[in-house]
Amino acid sequence: MTLQNQHILIGITGGIAAYKICELIRMFKKSGADVKVIVTPNALNFVTKLTLQNLSQNDVYEGEFTPKNWKPEHISLADWADIMLIAPATANTIGKIVQGIADNLLTSVACAFSKKMIIAPAMNCNMWQNVAVQNNLNILEGRGVEILPPDNGFLACGYIGKGRLCSLEKICSAVDEALNYQQILKGKKVVITSGGTIEDIDPVRYISNYSSGKMGLSLAKTAYDMGAEVVLVTTKDVEAPYKVTKVKSALDMQNAVNNEYDGSDIIIMAAAVADYRVKNYSEQKMKKGGNENLTLELVKNPDILAELCKKRQAPLPNPLPQGARENKIIVGFCAESENLIENAKEKISKKGCDFLIANDISRKDIGFGSDNNEVTIFDKNGGINKLEKASKQVIARKILEYITNE
Ligand code: PMT
């Protein structure tokens, strides 16, 4: 592990495992990191400021109203850090972070922090199993926070169960991996689409599909962890530390993606875009009348992906507009229920993208709505690479590593 010149901000909350963080600080220091420590008032019941100060070779931060420079402490610490680790994290602090409560220096920094955050909880096993605690952790995970679950074993409260802080080695390697991982797409802007578009028929009815947006969301989260500036254009409600543009129809989606086109390095179209929309939207709820049958006339939606690829082929303006990027990678997805390989090969050449990720949407255990996927990556030069069934998070990581050649 080498963490040379990396800025690690450790938040210690009021749990007995706080004493273990003294050793953790030494481990980070030995591997070259610059470490600063914030303590909650309760943490100081378990460790002293003097110990933490000696080990980190930095001031230890506790109060918000004694800043060491002109900037408010919670902002300067958030700006300084490359990563924030909260260990041990109590149920109380986890709950506050979820709610955006900023009532001490640690929770204020967490509220202001927009980079990678890792949380290592430690608490009594019954507290760990509490539904509110588990829900809070799920919410944080959904926002891109990495949770290092506690281990099983003897607990300081006398119980045996899940609740003791995970091993220091595990924390170190998670921090090391996150910091290295953050470099892969640093400086790159990645635009991702997700969810099924919604094509209104009248004020109460619409045409859509079963896309849950999970595949696109996993790609966005992973690209963010890899250090990219991420824009997620989605039909779903998403809370995230990166830019999210909520859209409804295919036309809205096209508009939003086009707005991001110039400045993007990678565009991934994981959304299930409706091929057609109704020709005449009815401003009023459509009435049954005496009709036994109803015919809706549909018109073709633009093919967003194909048009992006066409746009890329056009000569670039000289000089390039400010912030515009050359050499874009454009990736499509391909939802097939039969003849996956033949259809995907045809689609990649028709659309003109660099990669096409094909998945079989006739299977219930992958594709639409599932937490898992199994995909085959086709590249424009004829290369084919199958990714075996795994969680969408793992598939997202493998896709991003593959298309960026990592
Ligand atoms: O959202 P989940 O529940 O997690 O499910 C994930 C998924 C199955 C939706 C996803 O993995 C997927 O396959 N997305 C693409 C679905 C799709 O629209 O496939 P397609 O074969 O119809 O389209 C091919 C490509 O062209 C896609 O990148 C699509 O975004 C794009 N397209 C399609 C039509 C259109 N009018 N404009 C487009 O840009």
Domain boundary among 180, 214, 241: 180
Same domain flag for 124 and 218: no
Tell me, yes or no, whether 154 lies in a domain: yes
CA of 72 to the centre of ligand 1 (A): 46
Task: Tell whether the model's pLDDT for residue 157 goes beyond 80.
Answer: yes
**pLDDT one-digit tens code per residue, 341-394:** 999 999 999 999 999 999 998 999 999 999 999 999 999 999 999 999 998 988
Cis omega before residue 41 (within 30°)? Answer: no
Same domain flag for 30 and 154: yes
Residues 6+ positions from 219 with CB-CB distance below 8 Å? 192, 194, 268, 270, 396, 399, 400
Tell me, yes or no, whether 24 lies in a domain: yes
CA of 365 to the centre of ligand 1 (A): 18
CA of 359 to the centre of ligand 1 (A): 10
**pLDDT one-digit tens code per residue, 72-129:** 888 999 999 999 999 999 999 999 999 999 999 999 999 999 889 999 999 999 999 9
Residues 6+ positions from 403 with CB-CB distance below 8 Å? 266, 329, 331, 354, 355, 377
Same domain flag for 61 and 102: yes
Tell me, yes or no, whether 2 lies in a domain: no
For ligand 1, whether the C-beta of 335 sits within 6 Å is: yes
For ligand 1, whether the C-beta of 361 sits within 6 Å is: yes
CA of 193 to the centre of ligand 1 (A): 9
**279 to 204, 288, 303: CA distances (angstroms):** 16, 19, 17
Tell me, yes or no, whether 382 lies in a domain: yes
Q: What is the CATH classification number for the domain harbouring 340?
A: 3.40.50.10300
Residue with CA at minimum distance from ligand 1 atom 18: 272
Classify residue 279 by burial, with Cβ atoms within 10 Å: 0-12, 13-18, 19+: exposed
The catalytic residue among 111, 125, 157, 334 is: 157
Q: Give residue 114's pLDDT.
A: 87
**pLDDT one-digit tens code per residue, 221-275:** 999 999 999 999 999 999 888 999 999 999 999 999 999 999 999 999 999 999 9
The model carries a pTM of: 0.82
Same domain flag for 233 and 342: yes
Tell me, yes or no, whether 300 lies in a domain: yes
Range of the domain at 105: 7-180
Domain boundary among 133, 156, 180: 180
**pLDDT one-digit tens code per residue, 158-210:** 999 999 999 999 999 999 999 998 889 999 999 999 999 999 999 999 999 99
Cis omega before residue 319 (within 30°)? Answer: yes
Reading the block at residue 220, the tokens are 């966005």
Task: Tell whether the model's pLDDT for residue 24 goes beyond 90.
Answer: yes
For residue 125, indicate whether it is catalytic.
Answer: no
Closest CA to 356 of 385, 392, 314: 385
Q: What is the CATH classification number for the domain harbouring 157?
A: 3.40.50.1950
Q: Give residue 197's pLDDT.
A: 98
Tell me, yes or no, whether 31 lies in a domain: yes
Same domain flag for 113 and 31: yes
How many domains does the chain divide into?
A: 2
**Which residues are registered as beta bridge partners of 329?**
266
Residue with CA at minimum distance from ligand 1 atom 31: 305
Same domain flag for 221 and 279: yes
Same domain flag for 281 and 332: yes
Q: Give residue 284's pLDDT.
A: 96
Same domain flag for 276 and 294: yes
For ligand 1, whether the C-beta of 197 sits within 6 Å is: no
Domain boundary among 136, 152, 180: 180
Residue with CA at minimum distance from ligand 1 atom 24: 334
Task: Tell whether the model's pLDDT for residue 406 goes beyond 70.
Answer: no
